[in-house]
C-alpha cells in the first residue's frame, strides 16, 4: 500500500511540473506574438 501512494505522489508531481512547463511555454509564445504584432512591419508581412 505504501508503494501505491509513492507511485501516486510521483505521478502527481510529474503532472504538476509538466502543466506548469506547458503554461510557461504558452505564455512565452503569446508574448512573442504580442511583440511581433507591436512592430510596424508585422501588418505588412502578413499581407
What is the C-alpha to C-alpha distance for residues 36 and 10, in angstroms, rounded to an integer?
39
The pLDDT score that the predictor gives to residue 36 is: 77
**pLDDT above 70 (res 43):** no
The pLDDT score that the predictor gives to residue 46 is: 56
For the stretch 6-28, pLDDT in tens is 999 999 999 988 888 888 888 88
Q: What is the 3-state secondary structure (H, E, C) of the chain?
A: CHHHHHHHHHHHHHHHHHHHHHHHHHHHHHHHHHHHHHCCHHHHHHC
The pLDDT score that the predictor gives to residue 1 is: 87
For residue 9, what are the domain limits?
2-46
Predicted TM-score (pTM) of the model is 0.50
What pLDDT band is residue 31 in, cutting at 50, 70 and 90? Answer: confident
The pLDDT score that the predictor gives to residue 34 is: 83
Domain count, the chain: 1
Amino acid at each position: 500500500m505504501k508503494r501505491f501512494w509513492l507511485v501516486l505522489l510521483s505521478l502527481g508531481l510529474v503532472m504538476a511540473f509538466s502543466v506548469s512547463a506547458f503554461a510557461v511555454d504558452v505564455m512565452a509564445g503569446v508574448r512573442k506574438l504580442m511583440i511581433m504584432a507591436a512592430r510596424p512591419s508585422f501588418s505588412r508581412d502578413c499581407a
